[in-house]
Chains A and B, each alone.
Chain A
Amino acid sequence: MEGVLWYVLASSRGGPTRVRILRALDERPQNANQLATGLDMDYTTIRHHLEVLTKNNVVRRSGDEYAAVYLFTDQARSNWELVEEILETVDPEE
Chain B
Amino acid sequence: MTPLLTTAVIAAAINVLLLLALGSVWVRNYRQHGASHTLGLLVFAAFLLIQNGLWLYFYRLHPAFIRWFVNAGTDVQIGMVLLCGLETLALLILFRITWL
A-side contacts of B29, CB under 8 Å: 10-12, 15-16
- Bound-state Cα–Cα, A7 to B41, Å: 10
- A11, B26: Cβ atoms closer than 8 Å: yes
- Which chain B residue shows the least CB distance to A5? B37
Question: Which A1-19 residues sit within 8 Å CB-CB of chain B?
Answer: 3, 6-7, 10-16
- Which chain A residue shows the least CB distance to B38? A11
| Count of interface residues, chain B, beta-carbon cutoff 8 Å | 14
| Count of interface residues, chain A, beta-carbon cutoff 8 Å | 16
A-side contacts of B37, CB under 8 Å: 3, 6-7, 10-11
- Bound-state Cα–Cα, A52 to B35, Å: 21
* A91 contacts chain B at the CB level, 8 A cutoff: yes
- B32, A16: Cβ atoms closer than 8 Å: yes
B-side contacts of A15, CB under 8 Å: 29
Residue among A11, A13, A48 making CB contact with B41, cutoff 8 Å: A11
* B98 contacts chain A at the CB level, 8 A cutoff: yes
Question: How distant is A46 from chain B, measured CB to nearest CB, in Å?
Answer: 14
* A36 contacts chain B at the CB level, 8 A cutoff: no
* A37 contacts chain B at the CB level, 8 A cutoff: no
- Bound-state Cα–Cα, A90 to B33, Å: 5
- Which chain A residue shows the least CB distance to B24? A13
Residue among A14, A48, A52, A89 making CB contact with B34, cutoff 8 Å: A89
Can you list 18 residue pairs at the A/B interface with Cβ under 8 Å? A6-B35, A7-B97, A10-B37, A11-B26, A11-B41, A12-B99, A12-B100, A13-B25, A13-B98, A13-B100, A15-B29, A16-B29, A48-B100, A52-B100, A89-B34, A89-B35, A90-B35, A91-B33
- A-B complex: 7 closest residue pairs judged by Cβ atoms: A6-B37, A10-B35, A11-B38, A90-B33, A12-B98, A13-B25, A89-B35
B residues lining the A interface (CB < 8 Å): 25-26, 29, 32-35, 37-38, 41, 97-100
